[in-house]
Chains A and B, each alone.
Chain A
Amino acid sequence: MNSITIDALNLYYRELNFKIKEAVRKEGIKKVIIKNARGQRFIGTGLKEKDVEIIIESGVPGNDLAMFMDGPTVKVFGNAQDGVGNTMNNGKVFIHGDAGDVICYGMRNGKIFIKGNVGYRVGIHMKEYKDMIPSIVVGGKAGDFFGEYMAGGIGVVLGLNNDDKPIVGRYCATGMHGGVIYIRTEKIPTYLGKEVKIFELNESDKEKLKSLIEEFCQEFKEYKAEDILKSRFIKLIPVSKRPYGRLYSPGNHFPLPEENYFSNKKIDIEKKYY
């Protein structure tokens, strides 16, 4: 496979991203390996080439990794910062470490797998449409507001690291009105959003979860899918697609007169008056 290695040391983010785009678009390179990432932002942002792989071998990529990305696969052998997969449209991201806040904000499709912990507001406002179902799997633990405003997609938190922190922080699923969250826990998270209810997993849930966890374990080899799947999970789904429907005034309603008083003569006036 044709690949190149870019040493990112001392490269400004614009130069680095320009080099990546040139390699992928002009030279048809399929595999871009980046060494010594030093917090350069926007790596993989807006790339559309489906079969391209971007591998960050060493160092830490900066914020908004894979933002608006639409197809490629990004792997980071280390930690990542904030905004991974922001408004991402398709593709895959694997982080062999921890990631920061606001991961996969407004994500539309594709998959993000994070081996370690994530920060606040992860998975917020993820969307879904027909077979475009974005998913995020967090191997470690998640901070506050996980899945806030979630409008679709799948959020999974596994909590595989054994510290004594809660598996998700406070206000998980606040304002959630679509999608589903699976958490590997026996305990009900504190301050759970009042827009969701807790359910047991049914067969189709188990299937979805299984395929995601298998993909997770394929990348992060120290975990075994069977072991994880043996544990107990809870499922959160919203009670309403319209959480705030009743907050606003219905305003005037426009009643019809008594039915027998009303005769709706059908006339075709559209032609005369646009």
Chain B
Amino acid sequence: MQAGTQSKEKSGWAWQKSLPLLGVSMGILLIIGPFMAGLVRSLLLWVADDPQVSLANYAWLFTDRRIQTAAINSLICGTGAMSISLVLGTSLAWIVSRTNVPGREIFKTLNLIPFFFSPYVGAIGWIFLVAPYSGLMQTTTATLFGGPVEGPNIYSLAGVIWILSLFYTPYVYLFVISPLQRMDAAFEDAARVHGAGFWTTVRLITLPLLQPGLLSAALIVFVTSAGLFDVPLALTATKGIRTMPTEVFALVRYPSDLGRAAAFGIFITAVTVALTLWQRAHLAKRRYEIVSGKGYKPRVIELRRSGKIIALTIEIIFLLTSVVLPVLALILVALSPLWTGKFNPANATLANFNYVLFEYSLTRQAIMNSLFLAVTGATIGVMISGLQSYYLVRVRSVFKSFVDALLALPLGIPGIVLSLFFLIFAIRTPLYGTLAILLIAYIARFFPFATRTITAMLSAIHPELEESARANGASWGQTMRMILLPLLRPALIAAWIMLFIIFIRELGASILLYASGTETISIAMLLLSENSVGYVAALALIQLVLLLIGFSLFRLTRAPVVQ
């Protein structure tokens, strides 16, 4: 009896210690493993079939003009997208949280939709909209005004910035809307009564108080848009304009030089890690509370008629350009048997949908693959992340803040760089060309999103709830099963849906790792984009429907999108 209880206690203790550590070690392995593979590969040079350790790849990196051009282009894209989405995202958040614009509650949700849509699909939609000669805008204006009005060229860095800004505006919006809503109104009131006008108050009080959120958002938007593969691929790669991620792709493909590609990947990783660490240190210094219990909720500003019109115009233009117009273009293209730049309702057909869903084996397989990857990946990802969150919140350890920083690193590393490292790691193993390697790369790149969501909720659950179960005789396993998991369920579901959405649309992490038979939806769109736009549009819409389902389910969980 005595021995029995003791061993039960012991094994409970063992699980309690080892399971969270398992989650943490898997996370660390998923980061360090591919990174080491990339680092080693970048230091190797084959001289007549003989590998030698050398810095030649790095030397090349810092002298090659192509790399410099790509770096500058990425810098332009990142800075441009960051600036526009900072202005747009902050304005939108301010409009819906601080003014009486009509429909503000609906806009609060609608503004989030682009966050769940795929920038790649957005880029394709915009090509259909404004491509020279064949874009809907050109053909429509040609009919209306007797000659096409050529808009700005979408196949340019400006086009890339435009698409990235639309899709990353919700990031900024999410980061600032909550402080804007909760900020003690007295901070702004105090400025007004002591002599500052409205704009002076915005400049000297509101924006500085939002600075931590703005800085986090700026960094995420900068790093993600500089490292995003899909949009430059769709818009500028064929025009010979490359950014860092498309350059990495080119280095792997034409001609293949994994050593140089790895060196480039390590360099990109080093830069993003440095930026992330700098931001962590900076934010740690300015963590002040802008919410005081006693204050009033911020005043809703009564807009005058002109103000309402301006606010509504900004809202509507944003939603039109980021969602409505590109989706409309996709629908028209998908319904046309042969796309000529004009939609003829008489010829409308569902043939494209029928073909990609049921007849064409590539697309059918791609849809199945994407669903499999999203469901399996989200499930495994949430399991690993849940264990990590338990470690980060509940386990006492001196390494915690280090582990926390380490596990957040993939957030900044471009998907194509991480998958390059996985490619190097797996190329000579049976893993290469399987769905498993895609699955591993997806999880490695995106588990931090889930960990953040779950950690935020777990921190809000008081440990006494579990302790009282333990005190009442429940084992650790029982406590987890009967107390903690049910309490955490909303966060687990939200994290699962978040990963599902990301995996359904993922392209950058797949492009180097897919093989014949393991194409995903986004890959299939890419493969078909040259010749069959109708299939591409149909496939894009099917992907959007999956994302929209995910988005609706996510809203039902009422989970905040960003912590």
A, B from the same assembly: no
Q: Which residues of A contact B (CB under 8 A)?
A: none
Q: Which residues of B contact A (CB under 8 A)?
A: none
